[in-house]
Structure 1
Amino acid sequence: MIIESSALTHRVPHVFKPFTHLVAAESTRHGGVSQPPFSSLNLGINTDDEASHVDENRRRFFKALTADTFGFASSYQVHGTDVLHTTESGRFTGYDALITSRPGLLVGVTVADCVPILIYDHEHQAVAAVHAGWRGTVGGIVTKTLLAMQQQFGTTGKQCYVYVGTCIDETTFEVGDEVASQFPPAFVQTDPGRQVTCANLKAANVSLLAAFGIPAAQIDVSAFSTVLNNDEYFSYRAEQGKTGRMLAVIGIGA
């Protein structure tokens, strides 16, 4: 796992860099105005941070992406598997994935340990943003998102490019037997020395992407951990619930 420090407001996934008309990024915790414990680029609306700080942080983030003229669609996430097809800006409720083919519209998810997954269908010019916690992962939300894209846009795996973003890592996501039993055994490991069991959210979601037919070369997986790189990213678990949120967003230029 890479440990490094920077002051970047966001990172652009390598897999998307060849597509100059595409806006796609994952925020860090740097470059905002929020005070501890939300320091500093807290982009989460549903936190105890001052609303004016979050508004200013979002303005800075979208400006840094040169996407301040884009619309933005997101949802109050419920750790479920429902997928919303949207053609307009707004704050929706009850969805953990959003898909669109509308140019000039960003879709995004907030995270602070769960996995953000960004999908770009190059052939049909469609995108998706997915929030996959452990419930969403075992519930197959990424597969349901791809199937929704297939139904709406004709998406196939071969034309998809995907970023599996920064989340809690496989050495620090400790789970009990009830949660561990819901994962395929390949994505759960027990450390006899520490007497703990951990689940690998990134690998579990990569497996689902591969099963849909997305080539491995078109799947970019973050090298970072919200826990091990807590100076760069917010971590709900490492900071005991009192922290900010990152945004992962994707959209096609108008």
Structure 2
Amino acid sequence: MILPNWPIQHRVSALSTTRLGGDSQGPFDSFNLGYHVGDSIAAVDSNHQRLLEYLPRPAQWLEQVHGAKVYALTSRTASIPWPKADALYTRIAQQPLAVMTADCLPILLCNEQGTEVAAIHGGWRPLVQGVIANTLRLFDSSAEQLYAWLGPAIGPLRFEVGEEVKAQFCAQSSAHHSDFSLQENGKYLADIYSIARRQLAQAGVIRIFGGQFCTVTQSELFFSYRRDGQTGRMASLIWRN
């Protein structure tokens, strides 16, 4: 497990899993939490049971669709097993929120009082569609009162994209030009950490932590779809204490 390096641990709990410590075999070894990748269902079930040992109750999961929809889990909302969305928000105490990744950026959010938490699946498509802004709108706390942690994602030296990806971000803000580096082959290296930090800061979130990982190069720790194709999924979770 990787724990966020932010000064809010006494009010919220959060973690990101690695690929280590589970029961999956082959390209999914060993702590794969994704049911949709072709792994043994029994192995994934066992890995979920292992994860549950660290949680106060079963997590709320998503069927992630690379969009910008946020699922708000409230006392009046009937929890459904796998809602289609790319972010989660709740004020319910001890209710873990989970997003799965294998190169995309997990973003965990909470307010300084520890009464509101959110988890975002920050692939480039959700980010360019505004998933961060959509999530922040659900918080009662102002952006200046929030903490953000950026979990394991593809690093800035490995995320190659085309001109069309850069153009979509730069159409939103010219500041995004500096998040892309032109390569000799005409493609760009995108810094997904910098993109997320910029969007958070533009929204007023100034207390941002994490962002020092690379799922592609740190193969002993992380699954990477871009590196391996068929592979497992990690999870990032947050909950109110």
The separation in 2 between residues aligned to 1:38 and 1:129, in whole angstroms, is 24
The match for 2:160 among 174, 178, 194 is 174
The match for 1:12 among 3, 17, 30 is 3
**Aligned with 1:182: secondary structure?**
helix
1:200 lines up with 2:186 in the alignment: no
The separation in 2 between residues aligned to 1:71 and 1:245, in whole angstroms, is 18
The separation in 2 between residues aligned to 1:131 and 1:93, in whole angstroms, is 13
* Alignment partner, residue 209 of structure 1: 200
CA RMSD of aligned residues (A): 1.6
TM-score w.r.t. the length of structure 2 is: 0.91
Higher mean alpha-carbon deviation, 135-144 vs 105-114, is at 135-144
The separation in 1 between residues aligned to 2:124 and 2:211, in whole angstroms, is 17
**Aligned with 1:186: secondary structure?**
helix
Mapping 1:107-118, distance limit 5 Å? 107-118=97-108
User: CA deviation digits over 1:32-77, x for unaligned, max 9?
Assistant: 01001100000112121111111111221232x3x1x413111100
The match for 1:62 among 35, 43, 52 is 52
The match for 2:143 among 157, 162, 177 is 157
CA contact (8 A) 1:13 1:163 kept: yes
* Alignment partner, residue 237 of structure 1: 226
Mapping 1:1-254, distance limit 5 Å? 10-16=1-7, 18-63=8-53, 65=54, 67=55, 69-87=56-74, 89-123=79-113, 125-149=115-139, 154-184=140-170, 185-192=177-184, 195-215=186-206, 218-240=207-229, 242-253=230-241
Counting strand residues as a fraction of each chain, which structure ranks higher? 1
Structure 1 unaligned residues grouped into runs of 5+:
1-9
**Aligned with 1:73: secondary structure?**
coil
Structure 2 unaligned residues grouped into runs of 5+:
171-176
Higher mean alpha-carbon deviation, 54-63 vs 42-51, is at 54-63
* Alignment partner, residue 173 of structure 2: none
TM-score w.r.t. the length of structure 1 is: 0.86
Q: How far did 1:195 drift?
A: 4.9
Work out the percentage of aligned pairs sharing the same amino acid.
33
Letter in 2 for 1:161: Y
User: CA deviation digits over 1:125-166, x for unaligned, max 9?
Assistant: 1100000111111112111110122xxxx1211211110111
CA contact (8 A) 1:71 1:89 kept: no
Letter in 2 for 1:204: I
Q: Does the C-alpha gap of structure 1 residues 248 and 124 become closer, same or farther in structure 2, counting only changes over 3 Å?
A: closer
Letter in 1 for 2:231: T
**Aligned with 2:135: secondary structure?**
helix
May I ask how many residue pairs the two structures share in their alignment? 232
Q: Does the C-alpha gap of structure 1 residues 89 and 122 become closer, same or farther in structure 2, counting only changes over 3 Å?
A: farther
The separation in 2 between residues aligned to 1:168 and 1:11, in whole angstroms, is 16
